[in-house]
């Protein structure tokens, strides 16, 4: 089997690749894409697709992102949900990432929080995720810290985080 006869070839590809070129700025929502998205420019807002996203070395994406797989060579900042994310040597991801697989190449940077996307988990819409996130913060603020796990209380008493 040669490299051109790979079983892992994408059969879901409906349309062509959408390219946001260097120097192009988009603010708002990108949804219902019919193929992969490549960003060399700037996107601020919501990107929701069932296909892959790649962020080139000059690309910047800031906002809520939901995709199948993501490859980052540029900058990605915000809340991200995907099956896998690869941060390449020139890539930088800042924010909250929920994914099945996270790979960081030497030189790549990840600043934020990551959680595993489990098989039984359901990826909710980005608006719903934002609403759930806000309600969790409200619950934590209203919670009584004395009911926290014992190891957390010990850390709090000793002054460590």
* DSSP bridge pairs for 28: 45
Give me the count of residues in the chain: 161
For residue 77 the two structure tokens come to 């900042």
- Please state, as a whole number, how many other Cβ atoms lie within 10 Å of the Cβ of residue 112: 13
Q: Which residues contact 153 (CB under 8 A, 6 or more apart)?
A: 145, 146
Task: Give the pLDDT confidence score for residue 13 in this predicted structure.
Answer: 52
34 vs 137 pLDDT, higher one: 34
Q: Are 74 and 89 in contact (CB under 8 A)?
A: no
pLDDT mean over 98-115: 95
Q: pLDDT tens for residues 70-90?
A: 999 999 999 999 999 999 999
Q: Burial, 67: exposed, middle or buried (Cβ in 10 Å; 0-12, 13-18, 19+)?
A: buried
Q: Is the pTM for the entire model greater than 0.75? A: no
Domain boundaries, the chain: 13-119, 124-161
Q: How confident is the model at residue 123 (pLDDT cuts 50, 70, 90)?
A: low
Q: E strand or H helix at 129, and its extent?
A: helix 126-142
Q: Burial, 83: exposed, middle or buried (Cβ in 10 Å; 0-12, 13-18, 19+)?
A: middle
Q: How confident is the model at residue 138 (pLDDT cuts 50, 70, 90)?
A: very low
**Tokens 């959408």, residue?**
18
Task: Give the pLDDT confidence score for residue 126 in this predicted structure.
Answer: 53
- Distance CA(156)–CA(56), nearest Å, equals 42
Average pLDDT, the chain: 78
- Distance CA(35)–CA(49), nearest Å, equals 8
Q: pLDDT tens for residues 15-72?
A: 789 999 999 999 999 998 989 999 999 999 999 999 999 999 999 999 999 999 999 9
For residue 85 the two structure tokens come to 């994310």
- Distance CA(59)–CA(21), nearest Å, equals 8
């Amino acid at each position: 089997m040669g490299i051109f006869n790979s079983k892992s070839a994408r059969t879901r590809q409906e349309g062509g690749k959408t390219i946001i070129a260097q120097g192009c700025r988009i603010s708002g929502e990108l949804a219902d894409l019919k193929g992969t998205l490549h960003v060399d420019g700037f996107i601020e807002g919501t990107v929701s697709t069932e296909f892959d996203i790649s962020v080139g070395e000059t690309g910047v994406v800031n906002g809520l992102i939901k995709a199948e797989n993501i490859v980052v060579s540029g900058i990605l900042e915000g809340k991200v949900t995907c099956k896998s994310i690869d941060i390449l040597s020139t890539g930088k991801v800042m924010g909250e990432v929920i994914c099945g697989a996270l790979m960081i190449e030497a030189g790549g940077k990840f600043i934020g929080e990551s959680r595993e996307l489990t098989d039984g988990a359901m990826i909710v819409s980005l608006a719903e995720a934002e609403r759930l996130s806000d309600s969790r913060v409200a619950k934590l603020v209203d919670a009584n810290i004395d009911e926290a796990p014992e190891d957390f209380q010990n850390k709090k008493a000793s002054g460590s985080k």
